[in-house]
Amino acid sequence: MILVLLGCAVEQALVVAPDPPRPPAEPSAEPSVPNADTAAPPPDTEAPPEDTGPVAPRAPEAGELVLAELMIDPAAVADAHGEWIEIVSVASDPLDWTGLELADDGVDLTVALGSGVVAPGGRFVVCADGDAAANGGVSCDGTWLYHAFGGGLALANTGDELEIRLGGAVLDRVTWSAGFAEVGAATGLEPSAENAADNDEATRWCAAVAALPGGDSGTPGEPNRPCP
């Protein structure tokens, strides 16, 4: 009897014995090690990525900033508040105009204050008064100290000169005489003449017609209309 029981136990143990371990799976047909001829190079040998970050602004050179629109004789507000100057960049790099000087041939000389970077093809506006509620509705990027006959700058209605300078170097210059400035309208440079040489010709300028919030005309910070 005992032998029979032992025999049953042995038989049961044989039945429940686990299967022998299977051999490890065959390696995949796809090699896990890249082929040196076709694989991308490891990261530490890749060429450095092309620098696509922003270009640091640099100082403008002569001819790269162009006087493009002048509010010489505002009517909606007094000249001390309503004069402004639009300048366009014709450079292909961002320009930092911090420290821009505004001057005439006589005693006027002042330094414009404001944020000083203009993008390629961009425009900025510097004003006698930066308060849009007081200057006829113009948004300004900078201001200058308005003062006639020295101690600042003023744009004479019947004729004057205006230079923009940086560090003493003249970047652009415009002169005008009686009739150049229309009362209550900014005088804008013809778009096809937006360079420091062509803006020397008074015939390339014309009065703006787009209305400003204060009632005068001009396109501060926006492209000028083609002159008729």
Give the footprint of Ca ion on this chain (CB under 5 A): 69, 72, 79, 86, 155, 157, 172-173, 196, 199-200, 219, 224
d(CA 183, CA 186): 8
- Residue 217 forms beta bridges with which residues? 185, 211
Q: How far is the CB of 116 from Ca ion (least distance, A)?
A: 19
In terms of Cβ atoms closer than 10 Å to its own Cβ (0-12, 13-18, 19+), residue 8 is: exposed
Between CA 136 and CA 141, with CA 137 as vertex, the angle to 5 degrees is 110
Q: How far is the CB of 210 from Ca ion (least distance, A)?
A: 9
Q: How far is the CB of 46 from Ca ion (least distance, A)?
A: 47
Structure tokens at 3: 């032998």
Q: How far is the CB of 93 from Ca ion (least distance, A)?
A: 21
For Ca ion, which is the closer residue by CB, 14 or 108?
108
Between CA 59 and CA 110, with CA 71 as vertex, the angle to 5 degrees is 45
Return the number of other C-beta atoms located less than 10 Å from residue 181's C-beta: 24
For Ca ion, which is the closer residue by CB, 77 or 155?
155
Residue nearest to Ca ion (CB): 219
Q: How far is the CB of 59 from Ca ion (least distance, A)?
A: 19
Whether residue 63 contacts residue 194, with contact meaning beta carbons closer than 8 Å, is answered with no
